[in-house]
Amino acid sequence: MLSQVAVVRGCAAFDLVVTGAFALPPVARLVLGILYAVNGMVGGDMLMPSFAPVQWLFVYLTGALGVVWAVARLGWPLRGLGIADAVARTWVAGVIALAMFEGAPRILTLFVATELGGAALQFATLRRPPVPTARRA
């Protein structure tokens, strides 16, 4: 069984990679272009719409906040932070699902799946306080 620390750090490391891509302007534009291309391969719109500067600002801010949150959980992989992250992942999955219902690209289903998967893993692992281990003298 995975330790609580390993689960919190693992989810944080995954988030650092994914959100880090959106925190860096040139990388964010590239990643969004790739997502739209893949979306086209699954039957959706392939062409990325033109974003206004304020929309790019929110892409970058979301990425930056995700990076800070991931780094906090990597540095301090506390049970409480993992539970907070699981709640936030559930909330984010709902927001993404709502956006998809309103017409956002179907490829975002991948993000809903990873958010719910990370939430389920953390809820399952963190639902009880850790069992203390004996220390050697």
Please write the tens of the pLDDT for every residue from 78-113: 999 999 999 999 999 999 999 999 999 999 999 999
Question: What pLDDT, on the 0 to 100 scale, is given for residue 136?
Answer: 63
Amino acid code (one letter) for 114: T
Q: Which two tokens stand for residue 34?
A: 């790739």
Inter-residue contact 77 to 9 (CB < 8 Å): yes
Domain range list for the chain:
4-126
State the pTM of this model: 0.88
Please write the tens of the pLDDT for every residue from 28-65: 999 999 999 999 999 998 999 999 999 999 999 999 99
Contacts of 80 (CB under 8 A, 6+ apart): none
Angle at 126 between CA 120 and CA 131, to 5 degrees: 150
Question: What pLDDT, on the 0 to 100 scale, is given for residue 106?
Answer: 92
